[in-house]
Amino acid sequence: MRARGHAVRACPIPGLTREARSGMATSDRQDSKLRAALRTPTAVAGLAALLSLAIFAVLRHFQTFSMVDMLVYRAEGAAVAAHQDLYGMRLPGWDLPATYPPFAAMLFVPSTWFDVTSLRIIVTFFNIGLLGLLAWLSFKLVGWPRRQHRLPGALLAAGFGPWLEPVFTTIQYGQVNLAIACLVLIDLTRPDRSRSKGIAIGIAAGMKLTPGLFAVYFLLTGRIRAAMVSAASFAATFLIGAVALPSASYGFWAKYLWDSSRVGLTELVDNQSLRGATARLLSQHDPGLLATAACGLALVGGMGVAVFAGRSARMMRRADAWGAVCTALTALLVSPISWTHHWVWCVPLLILLAAEADREWSRPKGERGRSWRVLLTVTLLSFLSYTMWLVPQSAGLGIPWNWQAASSVYPILGALVIAVVGRKVLTARRTEAERTTPAALESAERGFYDDTLTTR
């Protein structure tokens, strides 16, 4: 044991904090329940996932999922294929318009090749597969668990993830959120030296504008090439749409993009943005300056935490993963409309919190904290609670004060997570500053030489 301890101390990593080093040294001391679950044999994980999905399929059958957003996408694709007015189109029976950029509408054209019944089956299976891929990419981003445990973990996520409210409603409506999140994570998990890093984020932003905030994250964390590639990729989607659909492109970028009424009412309980929360709190259709100020503070604070986390790789574990998740949470908070199904970023968030909780549990009993396990439990219960759908006034106006938190659980949770990560970054940076004082460096160097002489 002594030789092992000296081996760790004899290979110090410059700038790495005590927190990060202790995590490395104790990671194998004791298995947590999370790690034990991920050691489930692949076949068992697959069978458990199939059982959960079978129950989900029965519920889906009796609830008769309309998959209305899928129908809108199909109508958009049909309008493009038939050279009709894309943004004048309204889905029959629902009166819903097209809200995505022309490039996205072009991608929906293949959906017209199938009848509605077949398309519902295809889209459901596709989203389940994307859920497993999202979990796999999240494991890669977080660096947890070990590679041999990631396939069982992805199978379990694909099987049990649909019960999370954002994933449930994504499948219920036939939404594209899982595809968008996977595109973003493909780029986030590419090495910084990769010349293609940024292409997928640009495509995602061309489909749904909010992923463009990740290009800003790249820029502010010093990954200039990736930010420029993202911008170029987004510009390419704009040009493709402008050349193929010039009239629709002009209408979207000049007019329809700025008309939030096409997307939906701000105050509805399923709008889990800060603006939606403020509208419900004030019981107003337009929350005005207060919501604008709250979103401005969230943008500055959230991106500040994300950038400082992303630039703290020498000081804290999983720094870039925390930076990416905080960027996603910031985008969800400041967007005028963030429907509950947009919060599929709960999957990477839960995996990241599970990794932190696993590390917390792996410490010796006397050194174990509870903060990450508590936050993981609160986060999991929040995304399993469906509380916004229990609010009596689901239209969003006139909600009693005792139902306000339940109607805005996601923005409250998102702000809490960003605050916790901000504190974590400040603690890591303060510890690093204390370690790099001349006195601390001299003491560490003296201790290193004493240990070297002892081992000899």
* φ/ψ (deg, to 5) at 20: -70, -40
Two tokens at 321?
């993963």
Cα gap 355→173, rounded to integer Å:
31
Q: How far apart are CA 74 and CA 111, in angstroms?
A: 5
Is 71 domain-assigned?
yes
1 part of a folded domain: no
DSSP 8-state secondary structure symbol assigned to residue 442: H
pLDDT values of the chain reduced to their tens digit, one per residue, 456 residues: 333 333 333 333 344 444 444 444 433 445 566 666 667 788 999 999 999 999 999 998 888 788 999 999 999 999 999 999 999 999 988 989 999 999 999 999 999 999 999 999 999 999 999 999 999 999 999 999 989 999 999 999 999 999 999 999 999 999 999 999 999 999 999 999 999 999 999 999 999 999 999 999 999 999 999 999 999 999 999 999 999 999 999 999 999 998 877 888 999 999 999 999 999 999 999 999 999 999 999 999 999 999 999 999 999 999 999 999 999 999 999 999 999 999 999 999 999 999 999 988 888 877 778 899 999 999 999 999 999 999 998 889 999 999 999 999 999 999 999 999 999 999 999 988 887 766 555 655 555 455 544 444
Separation in Å, CA 20 to CA 16, 25, 107, 112, 447? 6, 9, 44, 52, 19
C-beta separation of 374 from 251 below 8 A: no
| pTM metric for this prediction | 0.88
Beta bridge partners of 438: none
Report H helices in 311-403. 319-334, 346-361, 371-385
**Number of domain units in the chain:** 1
What residues contact residue 238 under an 8 Å CB cut-off, 6+ apart?
Answer: 101, 103, 206, 249, 253
Type of residue at 115: D
The helix-helix angle for 409-435 and 438-455 (nearest 10°) equals 70
pLDDT at 1: 38
Q: Is residue 18 part of a domain?
A: no
Q: Is residue 92 part of a domain?
A: yes
Domain extent at residue 420: 45-454
Burial class (CB in 10 A: 0-12, 13-18, 19+), 37: middle
Domain membership of residue 426 (yes or no) is yes
The answer to whether residue 33 sits within a structural domain is no
Cα 253–chain centre separation: 26
Other CB atoms within 10 Å distance of the CB of residue 385: 13
Contacts of 185 (CB under 8 A, 6+ apart): 134, 137, 138, 140, 141, 348
Residue closest to 114 by CA, chosen among 200, 189, 199, 174? 174
